[in-house]
A and B are shown apart, each in its own frame.
Chain A
Amino acid sequence: MTEVITDPTPPILHGPSDKEKKYDRQLRLWAASGQQALEDAHILLLNSGSGAVGVETLKNLVLPGIGQFTIADAGVVTEADLGVNFFLDEDSLGNSRAECCVKLLQELNPDVKGHWLPLQETLTVQKVLKNDAKYTLIIYTYPIEETDLDFVQEYSIKHKVPVISVHSSGFYSYFRTYLPGNFPIVDTHPDSTATTDLRLLTPWEELSKFSSELTGDIDNLSAHEHGHLPYLVILLHFLEKWKAEHRSLPSTYKEKTAFRSLVTAGARTDNPEGGEENFDEAAAAVLKTISAPTLSSSVKAVFDYEPNELEAKSNFWIIASAVKQFYEKHKQLPLPGSVPDMKAQSTVYVRLQNIYKKKARQDVAEVLSTVRAHPGGKDVDETEVESFCKNAAFIKLIHGSEANPESIKTLTKSEAENDANAEMTMMPLSLLPIYLSLHATSHMSTASSSDILATIDQVYPDASTTPRYVEISQEVARAKGGELHNISALTGGMVAQEVIKIITKQYIPIDNTCIFDGITSRTQVLRI
């Protein structure tokens, strides 16, 4: 069920706007805030090679209403382009590929602005990226000139702009994201089955009072009242009982199962159904809710991280530090404030909800006052603090990528070791050889299998003699750098999802390379 913490002010009775109608199916995923972020973005595509994967990516961004996009491409449309790129037609032959693709992409959504830059001797990548801070994110496709890569890198560092490189050839592809600095996410959209902290082991006064008010005379409640006690209240009641008897809370698995039996035994069975649903719910919730909340490793990573001087001035790190203080003081995170649905009378449930909301607001207020005391915290928006507190248990930090030639050697070795045991562990084979083989052809579309293997041998000397490397390099050579539309469409879908996650700062982007094998239909994400 939905989580509700808004005040019950009646909304105005009006239907959705035209824009809400058109974007309805995606607003349910990233809400108006995510949509706004998309509409404020401007994506640059540096296109090359057979040129389909970047254009397919853009299609998936134009449709949901990205603000602007620019294609820079030296290509002139050939027959071969028409066999792989849907956003070209017979009339495009011989014309600038950038221009033709922009025209046909733009038809998809009148809200989006498209621009084209036909790369040539006078308009180089260097010029495109010189002193121009207008791009929010850059996508480039392989093959690409080595020197052009340097300009992209320079731009990314200077303007703190994320970059995604994409390589699709034959049945294989990979893409890699480069995030400038560290990338924190508050709105991670945890799975609906993820537990929210209800603080049953450390109830605050108002909650305890409410609970004992309902259960003070539990044995004499009418069948109706007894059968509608919210399971939270049932658990609080029996925790009190347990504490009185054992002078501690149930903590081991054995104690928790004993506690569960105690709860189950509390149900009345002298009724036609022979039991009570709310007590069933309570028993089922024991193992999940009766445990001290522990910090997840991703929250710990946020607390342990020491932001540099510049980062420390950002709202995220100011709030993070305030929440950390809160945690150190209370040994728990701010209360999320939502209550799962449970069997209860409407009035009782709404009261319970309000008790949680009120406490959550108090926690927000405490964090907010710490934020305000911070030298840079005057202008932090209260809703941002609220949202942080609500999602505190699920915040996530993705580290920026840095090239490290040493680590790829280590990774190659460890993946090879995993592969050696693959049959025993029933794990699929590593896709790293696909990455290495495609990467060996970064600057040229065609290469022989032996050229590719010779290049890989530089980091993994066994490559030339490992059958899997030999086969994969042969498969890469077979495609001669040509894209298959399906593989590029699929890869373009994944890249677009990543762009959306990065721009909206919602959900969790990859860290940092995703490899796709269109033969076995598998992906693998590796940090390279």
Chain B
Amino acid sequence: MSQPLMVSATIPGPSPAMASRWQYLDNVRRHTGPFTDPDMFDTSEAAVAQIEKMKILVIGAGGLGCEILKNLALSGFKQIHVIDMDTIDVSNLNRQFLFRQSDVGKSKAECAAKFVEKRVKGVSITPHNCKIQDKDEDFYMQFTLVICGLDSIEARRWINSTLVDLVDEENQDSLKPLIDGGTEGFKGQSRVIYPTITSCIECQLDMHAPRAAVPLCTLATIPRQPEHCIEWAHIMAWEQEKPFPKLDNDDPEHITWLYKKALARAQEFNIPGVTYSLTQGVVKNIIPAIASTNAIIAASCCNEAFKIATNTNPSLGAQENYMMYSGNDSIYTYTFKHEKKDDCPVCGNLARGLDVDPNLTLQEFIDSLAARPEAQLKKPSIRAQKTLYMQSPESLRLQTAPNLDKKIGDLVSNGDEIGVTDPSLGRVDFKYKLRFTSDFVSKDKLTTNGDAN
């Protein structure tokens, strides 16, 4: 066990109490290393203090979120916000270490923020007990960096497209690196995204295998597995019998109802293996989660955040941007560059600015689009927040045709985004951000007022 290979010396005693709290961080913050980028790295007092001024947003205060908050607080970040709409459940306690039994039922964001603020002196953590979709662009604009510890693909896609849309070429601060982590059992991944510059979550959607679905008819007539019986109870029996007004996955009474239904069906078909735990797992689509994997992935995300914020070493992002981790069979990581997709519906298709006279009618505007070299549209359909004009299906064409004679200024506001599709474009489509070239006064101020909504 002992090896001959060591610099011979003895261990010094404990450091004197005068040593500063951040001495270990300062070892790398205040000293240049062999891999630091000389153009970027700066050991001055002002540069070191920079991290304390950065606002960083943590999305999710669950298994990853708890770890992320702890890690950021101990990486020198001082202004942290955390957003999560969930409340604490007893099954969180095996990994979400900022919560105790007595916290069950309380807001995750609030509990987590309070705990870390109390433990780490000088850090400020602002909780937001709501959905990410409840916040507007101005909210997201205030942060330098965003770190996600989420379990839903939908939420990831939402924040991704929000941050891509936030990028404004005339405002350097509008570009916010997005760091995302995810785990399942002993496996996980972390990735760094520079919105609009590198491969985004939408470009990487194929990295998430969709949940395998079983044909409805199998559930209805030829079940073979315990999961088939549970899905049958979940999708069909519940709807037929509606034992409670609305299915609540977290209500044990509801799960018990489904479990009994599934069990009876399994017995009818001689299928073994329906248990309460399996029922809960299938209905809630439970993904196994443990503290250690969350620790690995969260720390990987925060390590990248720290490097991006301090330039103490090169980070993932511009080249390699994705780390896959698996601890099932030994330990295996694969760190690679996921390429940006040109046809990505979110970042491959950024809105271009387009000057338009608001006094044009929609028909005139569409005609002008056809003349644009990049478009050359034959049968364009077009929408803003509302549908402006659809070439087909016929019912929509008829419903939207009256818009053709309306003025642009009556249909949308200056700065609104429109989306244009055309069968002749194949997979491509266009988004334009409209810039009005003249003032627009609506004839009918009372009803339209130039606002799309």
What is the CA–CA distance of A26 and B4 in the complex, to the nearest angstrom?
Answer: 41
Residues 92-148 (chain B) with a chain A CB within 8 angstroms: 93-95, 97, 100-101, 118-121
Contact of A107 among B8, B19, B21, B100 (CB under 8 A): B100
A22-B94, A493-B295 known; A1-B11 Cβ under 8 A = no
Residue of B nearest to A351 (CB): B270
Q: Mark B254-265, 1 if CB is under 8 A from A, else 0.
A: 001001100100
- Are B33 and A439 within 8 A (Cβ)? no
A520 on interface, CB distance cutoff 8 Å: yes
B interface secondary structure, majority: loop
Q: How far is the CB of A430 from chain B (nearest CB, A)?
A: 14
B446 on interface, CB distance cutoff 8 Å: no
A441 on interface, CB distance cutoff 8 Å: yes
- Are B34 and A471 within 8 A (Cβ)? yes
A1-B227, A63-B97 known; A478-B27 Cβ under 8 A = yes
A99 on interface, CB distance cutoff 8 Å: no
- Residues of A within 8 Å of B17, CB to CB, are 78-79, 93-94
- Residues of A within 8 Å of B311, CB to CB, are none
Residues 1-55 (chain A) with a chain B CB within 8 angstroms: 1-2, 4, 6-8, 10-11, 13-16, 18, 20-29, 48, 50
Contact of B28 among A442, A478, A500 (CB under 8 A): A478
- Are A178 and B1 within 8 A (Cβ)? yes
A22-B90, A458-B5, A509-B330 known; A2-B226 Cβ under 8 A = yes
A439-B3, A443-B11, A475-B34 known; A507-B329 Cβ under 8 A = yes
- Are A439 and B23 within 8 A (Cβ)? no
B290 on interface, CB distance cutoff 8 Å: yes
B199 on interface, CB distance cutoff 8 Å: no
- Residues of A within 8 Å of B320, CB to CB, are 520-521
Residues 287-335 (chain B) with a chain A CB within 8 angstroms: 287-300, 302-304, 306-307, 313-314, 316, 320, 323, 325, 327-333, 335
- Residues of A within 8 Å of B172, CB to CB, are none
- Residues of A within 8 Å of B386, CB to CB, are none
Q: How far is the CB of A329 from chain B (nearest CB, A)?
A: 30
Residues 154-192 (chain A) with a chain B CB within 8 angstroms: 156, 163, 170-171, 178, 188-189, 191
What is the CA–CA distance of A480 and B25 in the complex, to the nearest angstrom?
Answer: 11
Q: How far is the CB of B388 from chain A (nearest CB, A)?
A: 41
A390 on interface, CB distance cutoff 8 Å: no
What is the CA–CA distance of A357 and B307 in the complex, to the nearest angstrom?
Answer: 55
What is the CA–CA distance of A482 and B314 in the complex, to the nearest angstrom?
Answer: 19
- Are A451 and B7 within 8 A (Cβ)? yes
Q: How far is the CB of A423 from chain B (nearest CB, A)?
A: 15
B22 on interface, CB distance cutoff 8 Å: yes
- Are B225 and A523 within 8 A (Cβ)? no
What is the CA–CA distance of A270 and B152 in the complex, to the nearest angstrom?
Answer: 43
Segment of B68-76, B238-246, B355-363, B390-398 in the binding face: B68-76
- Residues of A within 8 Å of B274, CB to CB, are 11
- Are A25 and B24 within 8 A (Cβ)? no
- Are A493 and B292 within 8 A (Cβ)? yes
A452 on interface, CB distance cutoff 8 Å: yes
B352 on interface, CB distance cutoff 8 Å: no
B275 on interface, CB distance cutoff 8 Å: yes
- Are A25 and B95 within 8 A (Cβ)? yes
- Residues of A within 8 Å of B21, CB to CB, are 79-80, 82-83
What is the CA–CA distance of A345 and B296 in the complex, to the nearest angstrom?
Answer: 45
- Are A489 and B224 within 8 A (Cβ)? no
- Residues of B within 8 Å of A523, CB to CB, are 325, 331-333
What is the CA–CA distance of A6 and B274 in the complex, to the nearest angstrom?
Answer: 11
A22-B93, A441-B7, A496-B292 known; A485-B71 Cβ under 8 A = yes
A344 on interface, CB distance cutoff 8 Å: yes
- Are A346 and B222 within 8 A (Cβ)? yes
Contact of B185 among A29, A478, A525 (CB under 8 A): A29
B171 on interface, CB distance cutoff 8 Å: no
- Are A350 and B270 within 8 A (Cβ)? yes
B contact residues, range = 35 or more
- Residues of B within 8 Å of A455, CB to CB, are 5-7
What is the CA–CA distance of A10 and B68 in the complex, to the nearest angstrom?
Answer: 44
- Are B296 and A490 within 8 A (Cβ)? yes
- Residues of B within 8 Å of A143, CB to CB, are 11
- Are B10 and A444 within 8 A (Cβ)? yes
A48-B11, A78-B19, A444-B12 known; A26-B94 Cβ under 8 A = yes
Segment of A304-312, A315-323, A358-366, A511-519 in the binding face: A511-519
- Are A341 and B270 within 8 A (Cβ)? no
A89 on interface, CB distance cutoff 8 Å: yes
- Residues of A within 8 Å of B20, CB to CB, are 79-80, 83
A403 on interface, CB distance cutoff 8 Å: yes
- Are A2 and B270 within 8 A (Cβ)? no
Contact of A478 among B14, B33, B73, B331 (CB under 8 A): B33
- Are A443 and B90 within 8 A (Cβ)? no
What is the CA–CA distance of A26 and B380 in the complex, to the nearest angstrom?
Answer: 53
A59 on interface, CB distance cutoff 8 Å: yes
- Residues of A within 8 Å of B300, CB to CB, are 486, 490, 521
- Are A350 and B225 within 8 A (Cβ)? no
A376 on interface, CB distance cutoff 8 Å: no
A459 on interface, CB distance cutoff 8 Å: yes
A447 on interface, CB distance cutoff 8 Å: yes
- Are B293 and A493 within 8 A (Cβ)? yes
A386 on interface, CB distance cutoff 8 Å: no
What is the CA–CA distance of A74 and B56 in the complex, to the nearest angstrom?
Answer: 37
Segment of B153-161, B276-284, B407-415, B426-434 in the binding face: B276-284
What is the CA–CA distance of A458 and B6 in the complex, to the nearest angstrom?
Answer: 10
Q: How far is the CB of B392 from chain A (nearest CB, A)?
A: 28
Contact of B1 among A342, A403, A447, A497 (CB under 8 A): A403
A60 on interface, CB distance cutoff 8 Å: yes
Contact of A108 among B24, B35, B97, B287 (CB under 8 A): B97
- Residues of A within 8 Å of B344, CB to CB, are none
A474 on interface, CB distance cutoff 8 Å: yes
Contact of B222 among A94, A228, A511 (CB under 8 A): A228
- Are A486 and B302 within 8 A (Cβ)? yes
- Residues of A within 8 Å of B345, CB to CB, are none
What is the CA–CA distance of A107 and B288 in the complex, to the nearest angstrom?
Answer: 23
B180 on interface, CB distance cutoff 8 Å: no
What is the CA–CA distance of A517 and B240 in the complex, to the nearest angstrom?
Answer: 56
- Are B5 and A440 within 8 A (Cβ)? yes
- Are B14 and A78 within 8 A (Cβ)? yes
Residue of B nearest to A514 (CB): B331
Given contacts A343-B218, A346-B271, 10 further A-B contacts (CB under 8 A): A24-B277, A25-B94, A76-B14, A80-B19, A346-B224, A454-B7, A483-B24, A484-B24, A496-B292, A519-B35
Q: List 22 A-B contacts (CB under 8 A).
A: A1-B225, A2-B273, A15-B252, A23-B94, A60-B292, A78-B15, A78-B16, A80-B15, A80-B19, A163-B1, A188-B329, A341-B225, A346-B269, A445-B12, A455-B6, A474-B33, A480-B27, A485-B71, A485-B299, A489-B302, A493-B297, A520-B335
Lowest 8 A-B CB distances belong to which pairs? A493-B295, A482-B24, A493-B296, A490-B299, A489-B299, A471-B34, A496-B292, A485-B74
